[in-house]
Structure formats: C-alpha cells, structure tokens
Amino acid sequence: MVRRGLRRGLRRGRGRRRGRSAGRSVNRYGVLIGLVAAERLAELAVARRNRAWALRNGGVEHGRRHYPLIAAAHAGLLGGALLEARRGRSPFIPALGWPMLAVALSSQALRWWCITSLGKRWNTRVIVVPGMPLVERGPYRRLRHPNYVAVVAEGAALPLVHTGWRTALLFTATNLCLLRTRIRVENEALGHAGTSSTATTAPPMCGSGGVGRGTAAAARSW
C-alpha cells in the first residue's frame, strides 16, 4: 500500500511538472505570435504610407476583390496557430520546433529585405505606378517573387514551431489557391501597364509585396 501510494504520488508530481512546462511553452509561443502580429501591423503602416505615395504619383490599384481574402487568411494563420497550441493538441517538440523557429525568423528577415529593397514601391496591395524603372536590387536580382517565398515558408514554419500541423496544412492549401489569383492579377496589371511600369504588391498581414524585375504588380513580390 505504501509503495502504491508513493508511485501514485510520483506520477502525479511528474504530471504536474509536465503540465506546468507545457503551460510555459504555450505562453512563450503566445508571445511569439504576438510579436509577429505587431510586425504585421508595422507592415500595414508602411503599406498605407506607400499606397498614398503611389496614388499621388498616378498609381492604379488592381485586385481589390481578393485582397480581403488574403488578409483573412493571414489573420487566420496567427489565430489558428495559437488556438491549436492552447488547446493542447500541438506540444512543443524541440527537434521540430527549433528548426521551424529558425525558418520563421529567416522568412521575416527575407520579407524586410524585400521591403527595404523596394522602398516606397512596396505595398500589401497591387498598385501600378506607370513610367517607373523596374527594381533590380536586393533579393530581386535573383528571385522573381522573394516575398512569396518568405510567406510560404513562414506559413508552414510558424505553426509547426508548436507542432500545429493542422494550421500549417490549412493555411498552405488556402495560400496556394490565393497565390494563383494574386499572380494572375499581377500579370494582368503588368500587361495593362506595359513592361516599363513598376508596381507595388503583396498580401496583407504577411509582409510582402513589391515589385522587382519583370513586373508591375507581380514583380518579385510575395
């Protein structure tokens, strides 16, 4: 009887320690999601300022209909990843979580490299400013859509930091569908404007956008 009591006590103690550890992990993950959300708000502030500049310079916006869907998908990414972790369905597994965190942070670095390379031409919307030279610097020297690379990578990696594979799969599938529409709109905008134009572009909430070589709205943005 004494041995059974000791075993039960040990099991309960281990269970409590695991519970406290899991709770701390979820809280830290919540801080990470909060930081990403704050970064998105910073992007939107930059996008609003750049949109005003583009419109003052004769810019024409394209693809307004699909923009809210992209915004909703990216908001869902953050909310879904956190909800999945808080429900206890996705524990933190170091062998997976740490590499995915590195990928998520690298995607943020790439995204802001795109933003700084495009300057005022970067935006979360597809806006064509006629008569401006195409951007050939930064990641746009080698990739057509570097920002899209960042968004795709982050969309998979951020939920998987806390093993949120359901959110990762759902967002990736949704994002690929939206990307098809996005790139078609960008290509159409480029066709209307002519190859000498440049545009700002990117999905909302995901830090993207911009124009690089070969595009008005599609350029190497997201």
Quote the radius of gyration of the chain (alpha carbons, Å). Answer: 21
Distance CA 45, CA 77 (A): 20
Distance CA 26, CA 148 (A): 28
Strand stretches in the chain, DSSP E: 60-62, 126-129, 198-200
The most distant pair of C-alpha atoms in the chain lies apart, rounded to whole Å, by: 86
Q: Mind listing the domains of the chain with CATH numbers?
A: 2-200 (1.20.120.1630)
pLDDT tens digits in sequence order for the chain, 222 residues long = 545 544 554 355 444 445 566 789 999 999 999 999 999 999 999 999 999 999 999 999 999 999 999 999 999 999 999 999 999 878 999 999 999 999 999 999 999 999 999 999 999 999 988 887 778 899 999 888 899 999 999 999 999 999 999 999 999 999 999 999 998 998 888 776 554 333 444 333 333 344 443 333 333 344
CB atoms closer than 10 angstroms to residue 12? 10
Yes or no: say if 93 and 22 are a contact pair by the CB < 8 Å rule: no
The two structure tokens encoding residue 74: 């990216």
